Every structure is written in C-alpha cells, then in structure tokens.
Structure 1
C-alpha cells in the first residue's frame, strides 16, 4: 500500500509539472499573445508608427512620380499621425478578434474617402486648365489612383495580413483548434488544483509532505519556460529577427522581446512559488523534528522521576 501511494505521488507530481507549463501557456495566450490591447500598447512605445510614416512618405513620393500628381496631395490627405495609429489599432483588433471569435469576419479597415476629394479635385482642376473633359476614362484613372493610395495606407496599417492564408483549410483548422483551447482554458487551472488537491489527499496524515511534491512540480515546470527564455535572451534571438520592411521588423523584434520577457517573469514567479513550498516543507520538517526530540527528552526526564 505504501509503494502504491509513492507511485501515485510520483505520477501526480509528474502530471502537475505539465499542468504548470499548460497553465503558464494559456495565461500567455489569453493575456498577452492574443490580447489586442497589450499588442497595441507595446507598439505605442516603439518606433513602429514613426517608421510607418517614413515608409508611407517614400511610397507617396513614388506614387507621385508614377501618376504626375503632387506628393502633397497624398501626404496632406493621409499623414495624420493620430488617424494612422487608430487605423493600425483597429486592424490589429480585427485580426486577433477573427482568430479567437468563431462568429467574427475578417476585413481590413481603410479610409478611402480621405483621398477621394483631394485627388478628384486636383484631377478636375488639371483637366479644366488643360481644357480636357473629365469623362469616364479620366474618372476611371482617378479611381485607380485613389485605390492605389488607399492600398498603401491599408498595407502600412496592417501588421498581420490574413488575406493570403484565410483560404487554406490548414489555417482554418488551426483557428478552430485555437478557439477550442481558449474556450476550454478553464480546464487547465482546474486540472492544476485537482492534481494539487489529490497530492494533499495522499499525504493527509502528514499534509506538509505534499509541499515537497508540489514544490518540485512547480520548480520543474517553471524550468520548461525559464530555460528557453533565458537562452533566447542570452543569444539575443528577438533582436536577430530580420524582415525587409523596417516598421514590421521593429514590431516583430519588440513583440518577441516582450513575449520572451513575459514568459521569463511568469516562469520566475512559479519557480519562486515552488521554492517557497520546498523551503516551507524544510522549515516545517525541522520544527516537527525539534518538537519530537523535545517531547522525547521530556518523556525520558519524566521516566526518571
């Protein structure tokens, strides 16, 4: 019977270790990775938006050369820092909402209207000055220019573009799995507390002994999170992420550093809690041994009388 209990404690401690890793994982997914507020907050404190404006200016300069429209027509219509940031935030929220909400639809937000009036007015004035009719052909060319300028805004305010992956069934399968995990996330903390409670039950005669099993599981589980995070930071892996577009490169590096730091801190807190359990077990054991020795000495002293 004693051996069966030992095996049971070992198995439960082993399961608790993986429950710790899963617990950290679901918290990371819900509170950080798929949290639009956290994502936008991190981007706010970086060079991301400044680099978007610089890239847009360069693209509007190129568009001006291609269309013979002054660069100022596009810049004055679109280069509102507050408007660009709001558009980027909205697109980030729509992407993450599509991933986690089964009923959500995905469509990028753009503001085509900001270009309609200035571009159309310039083309009409240009046509009038050169005594050209603003006919259907010129209207079609004007619409094409507006669409191209709008596409530039959309591409620069969209950190994650799902248009290229949405048609693939593999992506939709991944999305369903992700939604299922998030929907049943409460099972992970529930399993954690059930396993921890079972360990207490197996040590009901000496409940302090459950601390060594739980503490060992917490320390071991945290190592699965802490060690990869430390390796990533020591090798500067987040800073080595490289893509051709500057503002996306900045965002990915910053987010990778944020995610790695979060996992390191979360793992560190669990490690501290596990260490506290082990220290608590040691202190309680010492106190019980001291009390036992004191009782034995008292009993021996009483026998002399």
Structure 2
C-alpha cells in the first residue's frame, strides 16, 4: 500500500475508532453505573433525603390542618426518618428490579401501620369527645383520611419520580432496551478491537505509528465528551433547574451531578491513556531518529 493510501486509511480508521470508543464508553457507563440501584441509593444518603422528606411531609400536613382538621403531629409522631429511608429504598429497588426484568411491575409498599393507628386513635378520641356516633359514615371518613395520608407518604418518598416515569410509559420502554445493553457493549468493544487490529496491520512495518493513531483516537474521543461535561460542571448547570419540591430537586440534581462526576472520571482516564500513547510515540520516534 502506498504511503498516501496508508495515511488515508489511518485517518478513516481513527475517525471510526473515535465513535466506536464513545459507543463503548457509553454502554459501559450505563451498564456498570447508571443501571445500578446503588447509584440512586448513594445519592439518597449523600443528599439526606429522608430528612428532606420528613420536613416536606411535616410542612404539607401542617398546611392541611385547616381543611382536614387533623393536627400535623398526628401524622408526624407516627413517622420516623428510618421509615422514610426504607420507603425510598423500596421505591428504588422496585424500579430497578422492574427495569432489569426481575419483577413484572413497578410497585412498592411501606409499613405504615403506626400511621394508620395514630389517625384512627385521633378520630376515636375526637368522636368520644364530641359524642359522635362511630357508625358507617364515621368509618368512611376515617378510612378516607388513612388512605389519603398513606398516599401522600408514598408519593413523597418516591423522590426519583419513578411512578411518574411509569405512568408516562418510560419505564417500560427502558425495560425493553435493557436486554440489549450487554450485546451493545460487547459489539462496540469488538468493533474497537477490530479497528485497533486494522491499525496494527496497516502500520505493521512501523509499529510506533500504532501508538500515534491510537493516542489520537483516545484523545479526540475523550475531548468530545469532556468539553460539555466540563461546561456543565464549571457552570453548575443543574443548579438552575426549577423544581419546587426540595427533596425531588435534591434527588434529581444529585443524581445528575453524580453521573457527571463519574463521566468526568471515565473520560479523564481515557484522556490520560491517549496522552500516554502520544507521549510513548514521541519518545520512541525521537530515539529512532537519533539512531
């Protein structure tokens, strides 16, 4: 092959290698990080979401006193941060179990028996105080209050809004894609290996050039991803999101920032590998030219 032909082939393979590396990185990141429930759970601990949820529920039930007639403490004395923490964990694990196909639907439960008992005790004491008959109408009112309280707690602990995603049909769509993740990762890795093999074959008489073209591919691929990532990090881009509910804001922005940091680390490693390849090529070329 003529020198000009080899040069053109190297450029084409390098360009293809850039996009193949990005595809391999993307699938690897999703497979090993974004698709893991532990990522959400670590954000939950980092952002103290159980404390935020407790505060949010307390504020909500306090606002409803004028319409419900039930003091906020009736609810809050029956709820603990540990319960709310367990509720968030149940929501996350149920969502990821559904996404990975180990469960048929997204649904989670919490043990709110203490909350129900507190509400029933309040209604019973109040009925005794005003001598209100505990008839069928009374039971309907109590059951409605209990169901409403449980619903609000379950909605509030769903800080990552999996229920909203499920209602919109997004969880089911992601679930259908998940089985293709491993094949996609394997295919992109195989393409990278094939392209590297082609580079090695084309430059078999001058092996140092393999380092050069590989280094160029790694460096360019990492820079394509690093530029927007650095911008997002430097401008604190996600802080501008407008989400009124504090615990949802903390969960969403915390998750996005955590993923940004993980991507930055991955791209930084790839950039470092690219620079090492180029440095090794430069050193080798200098030594060769002196001989």
Task: Provide the aligned C-alpha RMSD in A.
Answer: 2.3
Q: Do the aligned partners of residues 59 and 262 (structure 1) sit closer, same or farther apart at CA in structure 2, a change above 3 Å counting?
A: same
Q: Does 1:49 align with 2:60?
A: no
Q: 1:85 matched to which residue of 2?
A: 85
Q: 1:120 matched to which residue of 2?
A: 120
Q: Do the aligned partners of residues 251 and 169 (structure 1) sit closer, same or farther apart at CA in structure 2, a change above 3 Å counting?
A: closer
TM-score, normalised via structure 2 length: 0.89
Does the CA-based 8 Å contact 2:218-2:274 persist in structure 1?
A: yes
- CA-to-partner distance for each residue in 1:97-122, whole Å, 9 max, x for gaps? 32343754111333342322222233
Q: 1:274 matched to which residue of 2?
A: 274
When structure 1 is superposed on structure 2, of 27-36 and 206-215 the one drifting more is 27-36
Does the CA-based 8 Å contact 1:19-1:188 persist in structure 2?
A: yes
* Inter-partner Cα distance in structure 2 for 1:144 and 1:95: 28
Q: Does 1:137 align with 2:103?
A: no
Does the CA-based 8 Å contact 2:215-2:273 persist in structure 1?
A: yes
* Inter-partner Cα distance in structure 2 for 1:93 and 1:208: 49
Q: 2:74 matched to which residue of 1?
A: 73
Cα offset, 1:4, TM superposition? 4.0
Q: 1:298 matched to which residue of 2?
A: none
Paired residues, what number?
290
Cα offset, 1:264, TM superposition? 1.8
* Inter-partner Cα distance in structure 2 for 1:162 and 1:86: 16
* Inter-partner Cα distance in structure 2 for 1:222 and 1:26: 15
Does the CA-based 8 Å contact 2:94-2:108 persist in structure 1?
A: yes
Q: 1:25 matched to which residue of 2?
A: 26
| Structure with greater Cα Rg | 1
* Inter-partner Cα distance in structure 2 for 1:167 and 1:70: 32
Q: Do the aligned partners of residues 193 and 287 (structure 1) sit closer, same or farther apart at CA in structure 2, a change above 3 Å counting?
A: same
TM-score, normalised via structure 1 length: 0.86
3-state DSSP of counterpart to 1:109: coil
* Inter-partner Cα distance in structure 2 for 1:121 and 1:167: 35
- CA-to-partner distance for each residue in 1:53-112, whole Å, 9 max, x for gaps? 11111112234433323322211111x111211211221222233234375411133334
Does the CA-based 8 Å contact 1:112-1:147 persist in structure 2?
A: no
* Inter-partner Cα distance in structure 1 for 2:181 and 2:38: 20
* Inter-partner Cα distance in structure 2 for 1:75 and 1:116: 12
Does the CA-based 8 Å contact 1:12-1:199 persist in structure 2?
A: yes
Q: 1:10 matched to which residue of 2?
A: 11
